[in-house]
């Protein structure tokens, strides 16, 4: 995963409007879990969503990568942060809302892994609590062999991140090659990412197996949709 590029993550994803996305999430939460006060962000990354969501909720963050959590800690010092795997974590507490955004659920790696992750999250919901998952790309719209490029052009930071998408069975393979220029010099490195490709029916089945009533918002935050699950009241 982001084993070498944590310090570049915010620059690479600077195109995202985290404030607007958090505002949309808050609207969805108010509609489906009015009065919610506690929120956990699973796979919180550098904490850009948590920073915004902290305007309305007492927030916790969870991520597998300690370096990501250090960036979150600097950004959202009041948040309780947890280093753990989304498929097996146990925080011994429950939340009104849990979110898993930026298609991070795909890193569960397999259909069984997604089932374990949704079950682990569901176990942390208060009665009537809400789970919001932003899915990874579905198999029917995945494009093999398509080259992609993201460019960062700041005064003291130049980045070109390139990859050619490919697929092996149900896994999307993303080998990101970074060309990074700073005042200290130029660096080149590659990160290997794998994310499972699931259908709408498979996502819904994972929610149902975890005891959640599920609905689908087709547009979501950035066109990938959202799955919203409610725990029994």
Q: Please tell me the predicted confidence (pLDDT) of residue 3.
A: 86
- Helices 111-122 and 200-209, packing angle to 10 deg: 40
Find the mean pLDDT for residues 178-203. Answer: 98
In sequence order, the 6+-apart residues with CB closer than 8 A to the CB of 185 are: none
Question: Parallel, antiparallel, or unpaired for β 157-164 and 171-182?
Answer: antiparallel
Examine the pLDDT at 2 and tell me if it is beyond 90. no
Examine the pLDDT at 134 and tell me if it is beyond 90. yes
Q: Please tell me the predicted confidence (pLDDT) of residue 232.
A: 97
Examine the pLDDT at 186 and tell me if it is beyond 90. yes
Q: Contact, 46 vs 71, CB < 8 A?
A: yes
User: Which structural domains are found in the chain, ordered by start?
Assistant: 6-138+198-230 (3.40.50.150), 147-196 (2.20.130.10)
């Amino acid at each position: 995963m982001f084993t070498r590029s944590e310090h570049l993550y915010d620059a690479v994803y600077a195109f995202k409007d985290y404030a607007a996305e958090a505002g949309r999430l808050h609207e969805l939460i108010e509609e489906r879990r009015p009065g919610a006060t506690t929120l956990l962000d699973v796979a919180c990354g550098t904490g850009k969503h948590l920073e915004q969501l902290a305007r309305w909720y007492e927030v916790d963050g969870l991520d597998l990568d300690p370096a990501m959590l250090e960036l979150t800690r600097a950004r959202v010092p009041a948040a309780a942060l947890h280093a753990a795997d989304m498929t097996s974590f146990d925080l011994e507490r429950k939340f009104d809302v849990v979110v898993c955004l930026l298609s991070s659920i795909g890193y569960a790696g397999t259909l069984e892994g997604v089932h374990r992750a949704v079950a682990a999250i569901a176990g942390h919901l208060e009665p009537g609590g809400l789970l919001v998952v932003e899915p990874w790309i579905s198999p029917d719209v995945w494009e093999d062999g398509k080259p992609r490029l993201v460019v960062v052009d700041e005064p003291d930071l130049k980045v070109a991140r390139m990859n050619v998408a490919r697929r092996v069975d149900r896994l999307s393979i993303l080998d990101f090659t970074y060309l990074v220029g700073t005042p200290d010099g130029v660096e080149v490195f590659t990160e290997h990412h794998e994310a499972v490709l699931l259908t709408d029916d498979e996502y819904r089945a994972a929610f149902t197996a975890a005891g959640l009533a599920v609905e689908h918002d087709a547009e979501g935050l950035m066109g990938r949709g959202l799955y919203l699950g409610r725990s029994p009241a």
